[in-house]
Amino acid sequence: MSEQRYPIKDSIRKQAHISAEQYQAMYQRSINEPDQFWSEMAERITWHKTPEQIKDCSFAQDDLHIKWFEDGVLNASENCLDRHLESRGDKAALIWEADEEGQASRQFTYKELHQEVCKLANGLKSLGVGKGDVVTLYMPMVPEAIFAMLACARIGAVHSVVFAGFSPEALAGRITDGNSPLVITADEGRRGGGGVSLQKKEDGGVGGC
């Protein structure tokens, strides 16, 4: 396998947030002063409770564990969406391209994506889904799959993504193993120019649980 290198255009280089030299300096500091460095990096996101315990690692055979920001509390959905609404609300947050050439793309601003996620999160809550529940996602590659992941994170549920090409039996196994009370799917997905009936496979999978 031959190696091909592509030089960075000056116009792109000038838009970089940090230089190669700055990156190396930051990397070295993360090695030399990990607690202080990652404490500062943690300030870039929104916390419900700011962590005081930055790093807790042990490589001992009888006590192997790696924990970061252990006492901090945050919501991933809020960090992906809410914190950007005021400054980037009308900017594109999600751009989706269709499976086949010629089909229309779909674009969602932060405000639009936030609205869709909140609607689905409230829908999940109305069905009794709560913190710690596992929601199985048997979805094609569509924006609604992103809505579902962020909606689960918003209410503290766990999303279990099952590849849409898996059989009903494989889906059933994952629903059972996760003790999942809810499955989100679509009527059909598109892959390689053809249609895949997800609803029928999902019905078979749920019936096999």
Place of tokens 């499955």: 183
**SS3 category, 67:** strand
Cβ-contact 151, 117 below 8 angstroms: yes
- Condensed to tens digits (0 to 9), the pLDDT of residues 26-77 reads 999 999 999 999 999 999 999 999 999 999 999 999 999 999 999 999 999 9
Q: Which of 196, 128, 132 is nearest to 159 (CA)?
A: 132
Residue 193's pLDDT is what?
A: 63
Q: CA 164: distance to chain centroid? A: 17
Average pLDDT, the chain: 91
CB 138 within 8 A of CB 162: yes
User: What is the tally of helices (H) and strands (E) in the chain?
Assistant: 9, 9
Q: Read off the pTM.
A: 0.83
Domains of the chain: 10-68 (no CATH), 76-207 (3.40.50.980)
Answer for the pair 96, 106: CB distance below 8 angstroms, yes or no: yes
Tell me the per-residue pLDDT of 142-181, one tens digit each, with 9 for 90 and over: 999 999 999 999 999 999 999 888 888 888 899 999 999 9
